[in-house]
């Protein structure tokens, strides 16, 4: 029987694919591995990366005690009390899956995959701390995530004022929210530049594309 490919070679091919978004023909000539084999290697390695590191790397707070330190960081560094994170979305382009109609067609006009936090935010299972007064106030205020105009108004989300001719305090509020939100913009920018496959239109089936995205964020 033909010898199996070494695990190190499989990992190098996958990392090269994620980091440079080289096409399969380019990877074929670089590593002398056939295209159909590469198409099996990449999903296999991505799944292995996620399974191995998901509990170590892909973690997030789930209890009030775990969220509180994050809120303190946003309050001290960005002057936004009771903020525990910043929210943004990134559509990862894919080719149109067969017989999917408009299932993966987004509002920007192309096909993509994306994840939703809406369910755990709305049902409270995300574990935010209980409402409490912010500094220099006595009215209870919920802990929130900072968003932009693309998101609707929710009790768990704060976004900048959208109207013109802002009052002085509204302008200060927008400035602080925008300054706090830049952490998520920076994170997406760094992630996409490191793993440039996220900047392209991927052709694999959405389930495989999701494994590729998960491996990139791991």
CB of 85 closer than 8 Å to CB of 68 = no
Asked if 31 and 132 sit in the same domain, the reply is no
CB of 57 closer than 8 Å to CB of 218 = yes
Asked if 84 and 182 sit in the same domain, the reply is yes
How distant is the alpha carbon of residue 192 from its chain centre?
10
Residue 202: DSSP 8-state: B
> What sign does the CA torsion over 162, 135, 59, 14 have?
positive
Roughly how many angstroms between the first and final C-alpha of the chain, as a whole number? 35
Asked if 43 and 117 sit in the same domain, the reply is no
Q: How many domains does the chain have?
A: 2
Does 200 map to a domain?
no
Asked if 145 and 41 sit in the same domain, the reply is no
Asked if 118 and 182 sit in the same domain, the reply is yes
Can you give the pLDDT of all 218 residues of the chain as single tens digits? 678 889 999 999 999 999 988 888 899 999 999 888 998 999 899 999 988 887 787 677 888 888 888 888 888 888 888 899 888 777 676 666 555 555 555 555 554 556 556 677 777 778 888 888 888 888 888 898 898 887 777 888 888 888 888 888 888 888 998 888 888 888 888 888 888 888 877 766 667 777 888 888 77
**pTM over cut 0.75:** no
CB of 18 closer than 8 Å to CB of 215 = yes
């Amino acid at each position: 029987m033909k010898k199996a490919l070494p695990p190190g070679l499989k990992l190098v091919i996958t990392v090269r694919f994620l980091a440079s978004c080289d096409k399969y023909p380019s990877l074929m000539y670089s590593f002398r591995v056939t295209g159909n084999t590469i198409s099996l290697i990449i999903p296999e390695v991505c799944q292995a990366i996620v399974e191995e590191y998901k509990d170590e790397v892909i973690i997030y707070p789930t209890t009030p005690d775990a969220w509180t330190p994050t809120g303190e960081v946003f309050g001290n560094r960005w002057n936004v009390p009771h903020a525990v994170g910043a929210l943004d979305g990134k559509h990862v382009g894919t080719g149109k899956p067969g017989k999917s109609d408009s299932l993966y067609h987004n509002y920007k006009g192309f096909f993509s995959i994306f994840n939703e936090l809406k369910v755990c935010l709305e049902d409270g299972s995300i574990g935010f701390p209980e409402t409490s007064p912010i500094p220099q106030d006595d009215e209870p205020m919920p802990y929130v995530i900072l968003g932009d105009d693309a998101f609707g108004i929710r009790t768990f989300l704060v976004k900048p004022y959208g109207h013109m001719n802002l009052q002085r305090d509204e302008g200060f509020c927008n400035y602080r929210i925008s300054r706090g939100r830049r952490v998520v913009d920076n994170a997406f920018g760094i992630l996409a530049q490191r793993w440039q496959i996220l900047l392209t239109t991927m052709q694999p089936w959405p389930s495989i594309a999701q494994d590729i995205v998960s491996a990139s964020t791991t």
